[in-house]
Structure 1
């Protein structure tokens, strides 16, 4: 057995000997308040009869949602509450999603955390919106929520138990053994160095697959997922949309991250993809958004047909020359350099 193979085998045995623990999070409860076209959804560990109960170390996730026509305008929530008993622990940018038939959905998520334990009240700042730029602003007022903040464990879970405290360290080795350890230290360092060099060379030899090969493999894995529950259907469409976005980013350098569906489709339209390919992307992403945000309920056959369409799009677009999928500015730059 060669030295690199011996080092790699020893490293693998050591890695398998390390215990790994998995903690499964308890499902969150929800409190929902609807005011016309606006909705406030609160996620907490426990909600009973409109009263929220949580631990001091936890946080509440607030989701503000408004649906309306294309001209709908909503002012982003900067501070969800002015109460000194709460602080903002996370805030996300508002997202706009196409629902179809000329309707849009505006949504923003914010996380708040209590600063003390006890019986607290969580008041909300009004949400300002208007149907169109020519109409007056409206305010949506929300009911304050009573929250009980404790330092107790609300949902006991064996997975949250800590391991048994390990035994104390043995006393130092006798003085006559110390020189032996120092003599073995250079050999151990040399073996570790050889192992690192071998692993780095092996990692450099692993070339990532082409974008279409990667996308087809991911689509095959997604098609095997169960579709029995609505949550399974939503996860199916979320993963399908992510794979198509990532494939377009890798294959045609389209900016997929941090973009809404409308912005991404605009980038696809400005690219040099054929019109048929653009229509396939537009239809696929809109169908995924209808399930993720409009809570549509497609059948299992419709889900499988959508996955088949995504596979056909990847196979057909993979055959395009690299220049055909790039924006015109990139192709002009390549022509000038040539």
Structure 2
């Protein structure tokens, strides 16, 4: 019997299993301790640089518990810090929350942690918190040129056409075809103007229209009433519409960052481009970031813009010539 017991021990049949030390249980990242749900935030970054007013999508995903569902989420301005909420959508099918945000400042910013409500598969209401999401927001104005220039006498600015000389010969036929198509299209369609006062196909001087639009804006009494935000919104609209009439840039449908790229392609003179972009960015700060501005500063913007209108007017032999006369 003793020999049988010794044989069983030697073969491992009666060896006791070793004790396994207890492992500490960690709380899941972005969730409630003890909950299997994870909350993860992902920023869908647009192509190119991000500027003030650009729309950004922050997608928050509920992961882990396959039966967990996100709840409605509408974070306040205080929770978002340097960002403003433009919209929120909860999709229970994909278990995601999409927040549409826009930055209110430039520099190295961070979307702060956001508390996210969700319901587990057992029906328990829980809350998780996202991680901080870093983001870099740039200015559309070149470094060192963030202020509007002082008012100067009207000066003639001529674009440099030398870079286009190699293309003139080959583009003559295309230009003639485009002109014929434009005349045909002009006779069949009339595009409604975004702002009252000018049909883009009508034979009207854009500079005269812009001056009249500024006079109408000043006559609304916004500055006397202290209503700076609606004043800056309409001033930005005037600048954008003028860019479309003068340089054929679809500025009313573009963000300020997109306008900067369009102005470079349209051969807008650098001095004009810098000053107009600085003005648009100031208006964006008032519209989106609720920046405080005084009536005297707004009037200075209008005065600078009035001088700039004269700088961009086409000139022939030293005299201003309306675009209608040049076209005819």
TM-score by length of structure 2 reads 0.41
TM-score by length of structure 1 reads 0.40
Q: Which structure carries more strand by proportion?
A: 1
